[in-house]
A = this chain, B = another copy of it.
């Protein structure tokens, strides 16, 4: 396979606090904004814009105030008219689209990385709507090779770009960087440090890429969402009647076979996985998904071939708003 030539990444955005109670990203963004005030960064081949996604939710230490901001970046919502009754998060998504997009336009950020936490034991995950974004996949492989403290995986939500609903979809390239386990509303040093290292490795890769480094192709492991499974619920009250089984809890990305324990009901009964094929669980017992009806997600695993890539240096523009 021949080398794919791609334009330099001259404008990069790192966002935190898109969910206001996922604190690693909140403190990472605050810390980097503080440092930036103290010292102008040296000569970089690209600008890095730090963004607090949902400052109102951050202030209240809640996921969102009126609507989940990270579901507001579909084309339809970004183009919807604003009235007095429009939820704050829809207004904010359109602001962010102005700052980092417009989505799908040549003016959009070259790369958007949106920082998230989960209560699930997922390590560090790239989450994207594409399995052919060579930039994201090469950065993923770089982190997977270099990050020693935490496993690194790539999750693909197979939706058309039009229906992509999350913040990073505003950039030309982009991914959510999801790290856990960490309870929402708290920060654990090991998770914070892993996020800092992940961001540093991403910036290092961009530096190498922009300077003309040739990155070899190869193949990488990708998990693709197959389906979500809800908790068993009381048919009348909709209250959950079981929790994730102790044998499944914290075992994200460990293959789940038909017949394996899935839930332990509050009355003590084990409920088993009735699917026909073994699949990989993730977002196991993610706290924020109780309200959306997801006890866990299931993925298939495959290898994706990625081409060698190199920056088309002719088109390199120096970043200006460092």
Contact = CB atoms under 8 A, between A and B. Distances in A.
Q: How many copies does the complex hold?
A: 2
Contacts of A240: 27, 187
A186 interface: yes
Contact of A243 (B30, B188, B267, B286): B188
A184 B185 contact: yes
A188 B244 contact: yes
A260 to B, nearest CB: 14
A287 to B, nearest CB: 4
Contacts of A187: 240, 243
The main secondary structure of chain A at its interface with chain B is loop
A189 interface: yes
A186 B249 contact: no
Contacts of A10: none
Given A187-B240, A188-B249, 20 more contacts: A27-B239, A27-B240, A27-B243, A31-B267, A61-B291, A183-B183, A183-B184, A183-B287, A184-B184, A185-B288, A186-B286, A186-B287, A188-B243, A189-B244, A189-B245, A189-B264, A190-B249, A192-B266, A193-B246, A193-B264
29 contacts: A27-B243, A28-B266, A30-B239, A31-B266, A31-B267, A35-B267, A61-B290, A119-B183, A183-B183, A183-B184, A183-B287, A184-B184, A184-B185, A184-B287, A185-B288, A186-B285, A186-B286, A186-B287, A187-B240, A187-B243, A188-B243, A189-B243, A189-B244, A189-B245, A189-B246, A190-B246, A190-B249, A193-B246, A193-B264
